[in-house]
Chains A and B, each alone.
Chain A
Amino acid sequence: MNILIPILFLVSFCVHAQNTEKIIARLGNVAFFSYTSVENIKAQNNQVLSIIDLSNGEIAVNILMNAFVFEKALMREHFNESYIESDIYPKATFEGTISDFDSSQSEPHTRIVKGTFTMHGVTKTLDIKTKIEKIDGKYILTGTFEAVVKDYDIKIPPLLAGNIAKTISVDFRFEYDPYDS
């Protein structure tokens, strides 16, 4: 009986340690911008999910495409129904690894996150320059990358081609909490 107590303690510690290796952002922010001479379009999604495994720097991001908020309802309708087809492709995902990730580093630093981004059923490899900060014990990842519209098989009608930029700028900010499984 006496030997069971330290074993149970050890098992409990190991399970806890395994969970604290991961961190989660449930309210990640992803915003995109399309600038043209005809029209500027902005949209943001504040419910993006991201999980990082601190033991190896693996990162996963999951985005609900119909949760982007636009300035105008008509823009949202075109985005979901004509371009992204969010009923067919409801999510965009990113799976990758933070290069040379060191969870013990507390100073702000920049790393390349390498991975695959899947949107509208098309998967592309991306290298994203990302700023990593640790503020009050919380990891915060911020960065920007550009997505070429035609790379993701998004068809813009010729009549609206002038309204939408060929390259969309995407900003992101994720603030992580300990993962509670």
Chain B
Amino acid sequence: MKKPSRPSTYIFGIALVLLLSAIAFWYVQKPLDVSKATPEMSISAKNLLAQLKDTTAQLAVLNAEEVVEIHGVIKEINTLNGRETLILQGGTDVKSYIICDMKAGQTETLKQLHEKDSITLKGIYKGFLKDAIFLYCVLTRTHQP
């Protein structure tokens, strides 16, 4: 005859399910840490824009939500609407830019930057309107002249 399960077994089972659910929920809620993510590609702002402006190549170049490392020259540092945004130059013949909405917590680092500085940053590609748009960008390097 089968021995009936003890109540403690049920309680342990329920506790285990709750714990696993909490871990799964925490994992889903946790945003991607761009600073630790390995970029899908490392490319100059000029080359990236040249490829993205070619609509036939747009899909092949990059998919939305991919982490990309970009090297470029700062055109503008902007704090419009309470957001810190770096705009990178595309090239002399390209009137499109890389727009990087910076991840929070980099205010002091951004204060050290100036227009025309060469930098490298990582961000999550969101898409292309007239410019390439990146969110959660983190500065990885500044290049001294």
Q: Does B83 contact A (CB under 8 A)?
A: yes
In the complex, are the beta carbons of A49 and B81 less than 8 A apart?
A: no
A contact residues vs B (CB 8 Å cutoff) = 24, 26-27, 29, 44, 46-47, 49, 62, 64, 66-67, 69, 72-74, 77, 87, 90-91, 173, 175, 180-181
Q: Does B145 contact A (CB under 8 A)?
A: no
- Chain B residue nearest to A27 in the complex (CB): B80
Beta-carbon contacts under 8 Å, B121-139 to A = 126-127, 129-131, 133, 135
| A27 CB contact (under 8 Å) in B25, B30, B78, B95 | B78
**A-B residue pair count with CB separations less than 8 angstroms:** 63
Q: Does B65 contact A (CB under 8 A)?
A: yes
In the complex, are the beta carbons of B99 and A27 less than 8 A apart?
A: yes
Assembled-state Cα–Cα distance A87/B85 (Å): 25
Within the complex, the shortest CB–CB distance from B81 to chain A, in Å, comes to 4
Interface of chain B, main secondary structure: mixed
In the complex, are the beta carbons of A66 and B80 less than 8 A apart?
A: no
Size of B's binding interface in residues, CB under 8 A? 24
B87: chain A residues at CB < 8 Å are 26
In the complex, are the beta carbons of A46 and B29 less than 8 A apart?
A: no
Known A-B contacts A66-B64, A66-B127, A67-B135; the reply to A46 vs B83 at CB < 8 A is yes
- Chain B residue nearest to A180 in the complex (CB): B95
Known A-B contacts A26-B97, A46-B80; the reply to A67 vs B127 at CB < 8 A is yes
Beta-carbon contacts under 8 Å, B39-85 to A = 64-65, 78, 80-81, 83, 85
A64: chain B residues at CB < 8 Å are 126-127, 129, 133
The 4 nearest A-B residue pairs measured at CB: A29-B81, A49-B129, A67-B126, A64-B127
B64: chain A residues at CB < 8 Å are 66, 87, 90
B83: chain A residues at CB < 8 Å are 27, 46
Q: Does B28 contact A (CB under 8 A)?
A: yes
| A74 CB contact (under 8 Å) in B29, B81, B99, B135 | B29
* 13 other A-B residue contacts (CB within 8 Å) besides A26-B130, A27-B81, A64-B133: A24-B130, A26-B97, A27-B78, A27-B99, A46-B80, A46-B81, A47-B101, A64-B126, A67-B133, A72-B29, A87-B64, A91-B129, A173-B81
In the complex, are the beta carbons of B28 and A66 less than 8 A apart?
A: no
- Chain A residue nearest to B31 in the complex (CB): A73
Within the complex, the shortest CB–CB distance from A45 to chain B, in Å, comes to 9
Assembled-state Cα–Cα distance A77/B101 (Å): 19
Assembled-state Cα–Cα distance A91/B127 (Å): 9
Assembled-state Cα–Cα distance A77/B65 (Å): 12
Assembled-state Cα–Cα distance A90/B58 (Å): 14
Assembled-state Cα–Cα distance A180/B99 (Å): 16
In the complex, are the beta carbons of B131 and A26 less than 8 A apart?
A: yes
